[in-house]
Structure 1
Amino acid sequence: MRQCRGKAGDLTLFGEAAVEQLLETLNPEPFYRDDAHYMERALAQARRAASVGEVPVGAVLVRDGSVVAEAHNLVETTPDALDHAEMLVLREGARSTHSWRLDGMTLYVTLEPCPMCAGAMALTRIARLVYGTPDPRKGAVDSVYDVLRHPANNHRVEVSSGLLSEPAARLLRDFFAGRRSRPA
């Protein structure tokens, strides 16, 4: 298990100091030419999520320069705790390709995946994950756990992290600040 510097309990969730501290601990793979374009699409999905009261996380699944699926969290809407943005695009990717193996695909997501989503990425055998901001509480790629690089996995996922992390973190900070300021 990989730990961030300091104690996650001492970090304000998605606060600037927490995000900066976690980003310093990452050893990201390089970004490619079109990565920012697809992450912008994921951010647009995250903004849609926030506009309907969902935690603002967006995801885009891409193969060979074509978008296979894009989605945002729907946990509150459906209501189904499994309807994270990543799970939705992985399911749609499997449906549209008629295969559970999503070889050669890249998943772009605004927030570091949780254990469930990271496990699904390993099982579906995506080639690459690009995420925006780390999750100091439930991150299962770099921050708290390291699901994708666990030695028991027979498939390795290339990980690039920190792309457009500030806009992704800002969306989350603003969303949760709004929730805390509402009367109970």
Structure 2
Amino acid sequence: MKEEIGEIQHGSEEQYMRMALEEAEKALKKGEIPIGAVLVFKGKVLARAHNMPISLNDPTAHAEILVLREAALKMGNYRLPNTSLYVTVEPCVMCIGALVQARIEKLTFGVFDLKSGACGSVYDIPSSPGILHKMTVVSGILEEECRRIIQEFFKKKRQGKDT
């Protein structure tokens, strides 16, 4: 059964990334790696989420996956064409695979993940010749803010402080 599309918020790329940063803050407060995501369809926010693998005891509960699940239920379809995803950190291999399967049109992320990113840093899955679905990938939106929250989290973790 298709749910009504709820939250209607028109905005710029920067505004959507700020929403993703708000989600990252929620993850931070829960002790999760602070990554947030927002999925937009025709200027409307379909779904917002943040990392929750620890809270949900689910290794797949990354912000991107949770957003796709919520949006697919709302749209009544596992394919989400003509949508744009805004995420604070470059997606990993698992997440970019899900974005390809969902047929996301555009991916915008804040900061590269130099350890496990799959959209241009360590790997470049969207540009791989075997990937039939092509999406536009944009990086660097609110890069400093996105970098700051993730770096502070890991700095505190290394110092043995709770986040």
TM-score normalised over the length of structure 2: 0.90
**Quick one: distance in 2 between partners of 1:148 and 1:142?**
8
- Aligned residue for 1:74? 52
Gaps of 5+ in 1: 1-32
- Aligned residue for 2:18? 40
| Identity across matched positions, percent | 43
TM-aligned CA deviation for residue 142 of structure 1: 0.6
**Quick one: distance in 2 between partners of 1:181 and 1:141?**
30
**Quick one: distance in 2 between partners of 1:149 and 1:181?**
38
TM-aligned CA deviation for residue 60 of structure 1: 0.1
TM-aligned CA deviation for residue 171 of structure 1: 0.4
Choose from 116, 133, 153 the match for 1:138. 116
Residue 103 of structure 2 corresponds to residue 147 of structure 1: no
Gaps of 5+ in 2: 1-10
Aligned residue pairs total 152
SS of the aligned residue for 1:148 comes to: helix
SS of the aligned residue for 2:56 comes to: coil
Which amino acid in the other structure matches residue 124 of structure 2?
D
Which amino acid in the other structure matches residue 87 of structure 2?
V
**Quick one: distance in 2 between partners of 1:42 and 1:159?**
16
Choose from 97, 122, 130 the match for 2:75. 97
- Aligned residue for 1:51? 29
- Aligned residue for 2:90? 112
**Quick one: distance in 2 between partners of 1:182 and 1:105?**
39
**Quick one: distance in 2 between partners of 1:75 and 1:57?**
11
Which amino acid in the other structure matches residue 177 of structure 1?
K
- Aligned residue for 2:151? 173
The CA deviation string for residues 38-92 of structure 1, in whole angstroms up to 9 with x for no partner, is: 0000000001100110000000000011000000000110111100000000111
Answer 1 or 2: higher relative contact order, Cα 8 Å, separation at least 6.
1
TM-aligned CA deviation for residue 148 of structure 1: 1.3
**Quick one: distance in 1 between partners of 2:157 and 2:146?**
17
**Quick one: distance in 1 between partners of 2:160 and 2:119?**
32
**Quick one: distance in 2 between partners of 1:57 and 1:91?**
16
**Quick one: distance in 1 between partners of 2:128 and 2:72?**
24
Q: What is the root-mean-square deviation in Å for CA atoms of aligned residues?
A: 1.3
* Displacement over 6 Å in runs of 4+: none
TM-score normalised over the length of structure 1: 0.80
